[in-house]
Structure 1
Amino acid sequence: MIKAFNLGDVILKDDFFTEVTQKDVDFLNNFDLDRLLYNFRLTAGLPNKASGPYSGWENTRIGGHTLGHYLTAAAQACAGGYGDCSGTDGVTLKARLKLIIEGLAECQNATGTGFVFGATMADPSKPELQFDKMEAADYNDTWVPWYTMHKIVNGLVETAKLADSDTAQRSLEVAEKLGEWIYNRTSRWTAEQRDHVLAVEYGAMNDCLYELYKVAKAAGYENAVHFKNAAHAFDEEKLFEDVLAASREGGKPDVLNNKHANCTIPKFVGAINRCVTLLEESGAAAEQQKYLEYCKAFWKIVTERHTYITGGNSECEHFGRDNILDAERSNCNCETCNTHNMLKLTRTLFMLTGEKKYADYYENTFVNAILASVNHETGMTTYFQPMATGCFKTYCNIDVNKNYFWCCTGTGLENFTKLGDSLYFYDEDTLYVNQFVSSEVRWHSKNVVICQSSDLPESGKIELTVKAGESDFTIAIRIPDWVAGIPCFMINGVSASATKDIDYFYIKRSWKNGDKITVDFPMEIRAYNLPDNSRCFAFKYGPVVLAAELGRDSKMSLRQVGVQCDVCANKIVRGLEMPLNGNYGGTSGLKPLATETLLVEEPVDEFMKNINKHFEKQEGLRFILRNADWYGTLCFTPYYRINNQRYGIYWLFTDSQEEIRMLETMAQSSADSTANYIEGIGVGYGAQTEGNETTWPYMQETGTGSVADPHELTRYAKAGGSFSYMFKVLPDEDKKIYLDCTFLKTDEGKQIIIKSGDTLIADYTLSCDGDDEKFVKSFELPQSLTKGQKELRIEFSGKDGNESARLVAPVSTSWK
């Protein structure tokens, strides 16, 4: 198996990398540790040293996840040489890491069970209530406790691996005790209870427990196998087998359709860790190979059928149907957590197989999705990265006291303290140069230092210089998939032959101090289109995705989708505006604005074949698109460098004036329909988007209640049950108010009763003429219900006490 270098063995020299890393470290040093520990101490029954926890997600049932991310990010930073950096209070980062571990150990001693947790509690007398309810399939007011637990365990394990010896040892002790609590609970699960638990997002519990097993075993912990057994309880082999079958020729399509992407990707991060873990087990070769095939199959499906040019995936956190990408371009694409976890999976697949395709994907996604997720000016990171043209990125708040602490804020903390972890790899005799970033790597076993000077993306020139004494080994330089022609290699000024058809350029020799390799990778612009729209194109120059800069304007406002997630509230392209009002589960399906389409004078395919003739390269990696009729000049620059302005990655191209006129009509129709939107509800995702007794939209259930599917974003009333929400309406008498319900075509013929109080709104039997997976039916609300009201509770049930049809996100109100 190929190995990775320690974080401390790679020193970054690139200014962009060092600057955003320092900003991340500075942000970590701004945290009040007592606020991070507040709910942990509350759960343990200990007195608190802060007035309350942080706000946003940290003051909810998912609270505590940020502390786990913090541990990982801080441990990585300390391992990378930033441990002595201090905040305004003079406390260093390594001291902060130690203080958190001591605080968690104190909480653990107080509970006496090994349990530590940092979410808000519904009942202080039952600190484990969220976990109990999950096992009973009672998902109300639980959110995702095992997801949060994953972040905590992972943070403890990474601290045990990366921190200085005393802190590492203490962290491992806390992790082992918490691991035993997890083992004891998972050991008691019946098959039914396990199914209940695994039906809800649990992060990569399998991954962190396999990692704990390896670390504890290496440290001599007698019961380390407990953690391996607990990890396997979270391996979903039914899902793994379904994905493997779907990846084969003739396999079932759309195996990932409607699955929550960041629920699903981490499961395979855990699966690949089982694969690595089994490498060291005798008699496990067959199972190890099986798990490797699971992960390769999943990676293939995601990268080939669900991935945008940046390497990111998903729309509003979910996978869609295979190869449906243009139709899902919105303001809520490419969740950063997905990217973070896809890269963890990809990194390990490369280390296990040595296949270049994994390194190619890693580079593309690292540059165009991870580096693109950070605001270079502030160091703050994104939740989503819009693929809809005319949008802009939104970032978490730089003020730690106003931050919402999204999941992607946590992974953002981690991403930028480990930027050097996948630049270089090695095996017994070979150094693999996988990424081209100015940096330095120390290979201790060979007693050498390799210095890399990279001019990417300005040019394809790379220089590698060997330092230290004489040593025999091979340097393998990746030939990237974006290279245009045959690369030029020189060793100490002498040309070396290469072809563009090889994966790596191998140079084996006895290296001496001062030996130098120079590389020149030819670069060009290439056009990439989307599988569901042959006229929709995006562009790359060498390794970087290009985006057209569309500037700033006074309408760059925000709205929230899901749980306190800031997204851009509109898209504007050359003066045409479309409000983006969709809520959770209802943000895709946008019609293009006329100004997103460029008219060319030759067939579009020919235009793209000769795309380098149509881009005029200017200073500072600025490219002007020529010979395409638009409403002004389009200037493209590297997407990852674009902050605080609108942009367009994907553009529509046509050689037909008639198509331009049609798109203008469609865009106007879309703008007219979205303008009448009032508000929508993210059905099916639980309290996060459906609310509870204290949060909007205040979902309530009666009788036997209802059943939700957080992947499909559906909810239906059980026989004898109902569910209801508070919908926003308008009190104006001169407006007709409508309830717009989304249903599934597969439920055709099923019935649903919709009421408000005793007033019947609809007695509806589902009927759909089209072939689409979902359809929308609008019901006019009686004026007697809406007059003078701003909110209205609407209830859904089956007819005559039977089970109802499924309601699908989004369900919204509108007016005419």
Structure 2
Amino acid sequence: MRIKQAAQAFALGEVKLLEGPFKHAMETNRRYLLELEPDRLLARFREYAGLEPRAPQYGGWEAESLSGHTLGHYLSACSMMYSSLAEAEFKERVDYITDELELCQNKHGDGYVSGIPRGKEVFHEVASGNIQSKGFDLNGAWAPLYTLHKLFAGLRDAYRLTGNEKALVVERKLADWVEGILAPLSTEQMEEMMICEYGGMNEVLADLYADTNEYKYLTLAEKFWHKLVLDPLAEHVDCLPGKHANTQIPKLIGLAKEYEWTSDEKRRDTAEFFWNSVVHHHSYANGGNSFGEYFGDADSFNDRLGPQTTETCNTYNMLKLTKHLFEWKASAAEADYYERALFNHILASQHPESGGMTYFLSLAMGGHKIFDDKFDDFTCCIGTGMESQASYGSAIYFKGEDQLFVNQFIHSELAWTEKGVTLLQETEYPLDDVIGLKLSCAKPVQFSLNIRYPGWAEQGVSVEINGEPIAVDQSPGSFIAINRLWIDGDLIRVVIPKSLRLEAMADNADRAAIFYGPVLLAGDLGSHDDPHASEYLYAPVLLAKEKPLDTWLEAVPGKSLAFQSKLVGYPRNVELAPFYQMVDRSYTVYWDLFTPDGWAIAEADYRKVMEKMQRLEQCTIDYAQPGEMQPERDHDFKGDSSTRVGMLNRRPFRMAGQGGWFSFDLKVKPENEMMLVVTYTSAQEMPNCEFDVCLNGELLTEVEEGFTEEDKFYNVNFPLPAAALAGAEKVTVTFQGKEGKRIRRVFGLRIVDREQYKQLGVQSDSI
């Protein structure tokens, strides 16, 4: 039996977005979805069912062993668009894809359907007890359960949002096939299998139970309790540091779904603890989390800024989890976080003209947004981006028992059909402080209108009903509840004054982001391809420590939400604007704050560190980050089943077990002297490590000391033989464990120009 919820979201079709940035983003996404060709997304589904593809497959991840994941996202996004807009073309696409999936499933004859290379073979190996994973793969296939989760979710949404009954039939048959695959596995074997990312399999199976009332699907969902992660979280132990972030979040969404159908308080408590840990101890100013896809230590951000901050998939999934928590208790804390992440990450992640989406949303000081290619990348964040940009109406309003919650301030119209009420929300928020709410109803209706009082609203909130002020007794971070008999034409006017504030990093009080109300501000540093972007102090420091914000930031006349720094920027002052508006620009959202005297002392050391790192980047030909999914794929990572990933001092690594091996391909410039720089740690190492480093299969024997870094990291240099580089554009670097010996943790591989590298002039104390 489903739990009693404090609030419930409205259907997408009951909320209409009106003119504003969210409608624009949704319309941009609408055009993109209609540009995509379903037959190209279906190509491998047909191929692996023994049918001739009707069109060539897309490239990017769709040409790799994750193929098929995008089709699931696309099916969900088209279903959401149809539910929101009632446009027949989206329904036609959903129906066509479902028909094709049914055809492929029938051709297989056993319930199986997917676009995964060797998919059926891999799952049969797993069913036989042959389970191998190097962290991101299962028996050589890239996260096949993750891909199946997307297909399950797409079929679920096709059924729920468009009424396609056939989608439920296909989904059930596929679930029955998965049940057969997993039936022979012991708890230990399930645990071994779940080392590989499996998305939200527990979520979609719990949903299938809800749609069919067949208890076996809930039982199957509950098998996906990953003890390695969920047991510590259930004991309120933050085990997230060093773990791949987007692998974990869907597991907790699944627990939330299971709780809603089982009333199991352990699942609810685990999900709530996880949410609080991520939001309050692992999230950046924009509401996003992770660096290079991984969680770091709690409250550790200072050394985790760069182009690979805040993977967009993570925030998509955190917002899904946030909706569940809000529905359980109708707390303004969840609605406040939702606003932060919605405006400052999700809205900020789409190019407003091209419709491209970010994989990582860079928070680097002097960084810029990098948008995936819409037709040749097909990363996970393009898939979740399709859904995010199609579902903005999903969390603006919620309903309870004789209650209506206004959670987000977005120009929109709500049809509350059960009450016969239409609510028109007119606002240019966040450009303006005023929110107007107009009620229309055929007859008077009694209910409590609950308007969010944002936690950031330190200057208070004023509310008028039909021109008459009412007392607001609530505090920031709550709801203003107005319980009365509402009549047709009632007008509510809400004014929420915004103010400037600093939000310091938890681990560095002198590095902070600047907000204006809910809006994260970014300093505009110039074009995204500015040739000066690599120069020292391109992102200025602010000599404004201990000064009130309003004494050194002033509004720019004629520009909404734009501010100019005054006499505090070193070496220059800058204009700040909303982060979500930053497109094709270099920017910074975090600022180092100094007093003038403090900067005079710090500048020498600051300059030395920054110049050293810049010179290192200038002499780098290629860099591979072990232990991060996309960099490893970009460098054609290979390895045996003993390799593992992890994190130490906020940096990911890869290692291998006894006799194990792994390799990376790295670019070179054979006309110059090249050197391989490998980063290790002097922290306590795994025992029994002894291994060779090889170039194109030949042992590298010449070794030099490299420079020592912070946090116990140091480098070892391998000059590369000129003969091995002749005519080559790339080389293969292999780490090979000696018999019975391990490979130690490797934190980075860098190919550098040897002569330029020597100019760094930094030596380590020891190897």
Counterpart amino acid of 2:493?
T
Q: Which residue is 1:797 aligned to?
A: 736
- TM-score normalized with structure 1 length: 0.85
Alignment pair present for 1:497 and 2:494: no
Q: Which residue is 1:719 aligned to?
A: 658
Cα displacement (A) at 1:736: 5.4
Q: Deviations over 1:504-527 (max 9, x none)?
A: 111111110011111111210111
Q: How does 1:302-341 map to 2 (within 5 A)?
A: 302-341=278-317
Q: CA contact under 8 A between 1:485 and 1:500: conserved in structure 2? A: no
Q: 1:21 to 1:175 in 2, by over 3 A?
A: same
Q: Which residue is 1:115 aligned to?
A: 112
CA RMSD of aligned residues (A): 2.8
Q: Which residue is 2:591 aligned to?
A: 651
- Bigger shift: 717-726 or 329-338? 717-726
Q: 1:789 to 1:501 in 2, by over 3 A?
A: same
| DSSP-derived class of the 2:743 partner | coil
Q: Deviations over 1:230-287 (max 9, x none)?
A: 111112244223124345xxxxx6x2111111001111111111111214xxxxxxxx
Alignment pair present for 1:392 and 2:368: yes
Match of 1:39 among 44, 67, 73: 44
Q: 1:456 to 1:730 in 2, by over 3 A?
A: same
Counterpart amino acid of 1:452?
Q
Alignment pair present for 1:640 and 2:580: yes
| DSSP-derived class of the 2:183 partner | helix
Q: Deviations over 1:772-798 (max 9, x none)?
A: 365433334455655665544443234
Q: Which residue is 2:393 aligned to?
A: 420
Cα displacement (A) at 1:157: 0.5
Cα displacement (A) at 1:19: 2.0
Q: 1:798 to 1:67 in 2, by over 3 A?
A: closer
Q: Deviations over 1:331-379 (max 9, x none)?
A: 1111110000000001110111222111110111111111111111222
Q: Which residue is 1:611 aligned to?
A: 549
Q: CA contact under 8 A between 2:131 and 2:139: conserved in structure 1? A: no
Counterpart amino acid of 2:606?
L
Q: Take 1:542 and 1:690, find their aligned partners in 2: how far apart are those partners?
A: 39
Q: How does 1:733-772 map to 2 (within 5 A)?
A: 735=673, 737-743=675-681, 745-747=683-685, 750-756=688-694, 760-761=699-700, 772=711
Match of 1:547 among 507, 522, 547: 522
Q: How does 1:514-663 map to 2 (within 5 A)?
A: 514-552=489-527, 554-555=529-530, 575-577=532-534, 593-600=536-543, 604=545, 606-607=546-547, 610-618=548-556, 619-621=558-560, 622-655=562-595, 656-663=599-606
Counterpart amino acid of 1:358?
E
Match of 2:745 among 797, 802, 807: 807
Q: Which residue is 2:452 aligned to?
A: 478
Cα displacement (A) at 1:38: 0.9
Cα displacement (A) at 1:554: 4.4
| DSSP-derived class of the 2:511 partner | strand
Q: How does 1:162-561 map to 2 (within 5 A)?
A: 162-164=161-163, 168-217=164-213, 224-246=214-236, 255-279=239-263, 288-398=264-374, 400=375, 403-468=376-441, 469-499=443-473, 501=475, 503-552=478-527, 554-555=529-530
Q: Take 2:312 and 2:170, find their aligned partners in 1: how far apart are those partners?
A: 29
Q: 1:131 to 1:775 in 2, by over 3 A?
A: farther
Q: CA contact under 8 A between 1:59 and 1:119: conserved in structure 2? A: no
Q: 1:114 to 1:318 in 2, by over 3 A?
A: same
Aligned residues with identical type, % of pairs? 29
| DSSP-derived class of the 1:174 partner | helix
Q: Take 1:178 and 1:405, find their aligned partners in 2: how far apart are those partners?
A: 24
- Bigger shift: 58-67 or 802-811? 802-811
Cα displacement (A) at 1:132: 5.9
Alignment pair present for 1:103 and 2:108: no
| DSSP-derived class of the 1:673 partner | helix
Counterpart amino acid of 1:415?
S
Q: 1:685 to 1:395 in 2, by over 3 A?
A: closer
Q: CA contact under 8 A between 2:706 and 2:715: conserved in structure 1? A: no
- Bigger shift: 645-654 or 744-753? 744-753
Q: Deviations over 1:616-635 (max 9, x none)?
A: 11222211111313333311
Q: Which residue is 1:681 aligned to?
A: 624
Cα displacement (A) at 1:83: 2.2
Q: 1:140 to 1:294 in 2, by over 3 A?
A: same
Q: Which residue is 1:11 aligned to?
A: 16
Q: Take 1:707 and 1:133, find their aligned partners in 2: how far apart are those partners?
A: 22
Q: Which residue is 1:137 aligned to?
A: 132
- Bigger shift: 630-639 or 200-209? 630-639
Q: 1:337 to 1:720 in 2, by over 3 A?
A: closer
Cα displacement (A) at 1:750: 4.4
Q: Take 1:238 and 1:758, find their aligned partners in 2: how far apart are those partners?
A: 36
Q: CA contact under 8 A between 1:729 and 1:737: conserved in structure 2? A: no
Cα displacement (A) at 1:718: 3.6
Q: Take 1:715 and 1:808, find their aligned partners in 2: how far apart are those partners?
A: 5
- TM-score normalized with structure 2 length: 0.90
Q: Take 1:301 and 1:351, find their aligned partners in 2: how far apart are those partners?
A: 19
| DSSP-derived class of the 1:577 partner | coil
Q: Take 2:41 and 2:659, find their aligned partners in 1: how far apart are those partners?
A: 44
Q: Deviations over 1:595-651 (max 9, x none)?
A: 434342x6x1x22xx212322112222111113133333111111111111111111
Q: CA contact under 8 A between 1:685 and 1:710: conserved in structure 2? A: no
Q: Take 2:721 and 2:521, find their aligned partners in 1: how far apart are those partners?
A: 51
Cα displacement (A) at 1:653: 1.6
Q: CA contact under 8 A between 2:439 and 2:487: conserved in structure 1? A: yes
Q: Take 1:596 and 1:670, find their aligned partners in 2: how far apart are those partners?
A: 15
Cα displacement (A) at 1:188: 1.8
Q: Which residue is 2:644 aligned to?
A: 708
Cα displacement (A) at 1:74: 0.6
Q: Take 1:298 and 1:806, find their aligned partners in 2: how far apart are those partners?
A: 31
Query: How many corresponding residue pairs?
Result: 734
Q: 1:40 to 1:134 in 2, by over 3 A?
A: farther
Q: CA contact under 8 A between 2:462 and 2:472: conserved in structure 1? A: yes
Q: Take 1:796 and 1:623, find their aligned partners in 2: how far apart are those partners?
A: 52
| DSSP-derived class of the 1:153 partner | helix
Q: CA contact under 8 A between 1:134 and 1:197: conserved in structure 2? A: no
Stretches of structure 1 that go unaligned for 5 or more consecutive residues are 85-91, 218-223, 248-252, 280-287, 556-571, 579-592
Q: 1:14 to 1:753 in 2, by over 3 A?
A: same
Q: Take 1:34 and 1:461, find their aligned partners in 2: how far apart are those partners?
A: 47
| DSSP-derived class of the 1:327 partner | coil
Q: Take 1:134 and 1:539, find their aligned partners in 2: how far apart are those partners?
A: 53
Alignment pair present for 1:56 and 2:57: no
Q: 1:599 to 1:620 in 2, by over 3 A?
A: closer
Q: Take 2:115 and 2:81, find their aligned partners in 1: how far apart are those partners?
A: 23
Q: Which residue is 1:159 aligned to?
A: 158
Q: CA contact under 8 A between 1:331 and 1:388: conserved in structure 2? A: yes
Q: CA contact under 8 A between 2:292 and 2:628: conserved in structure 1? A: no
Q: Which residue is 1:583 aligned to?
A: none
Q: Take 1:308 and 1:672, find their aligned partners in 2: how far apart are those partners?
A: 28
Counterpart amino acid of 1:177?
K
- Bigger shift: 434-443 or 338-347? 434-443
Cα displacement (A) at 1:751: 3.0
Q: Take 2:697 and 2:437, find their aligned partners in 1: how far apart are those partners?
A: 77
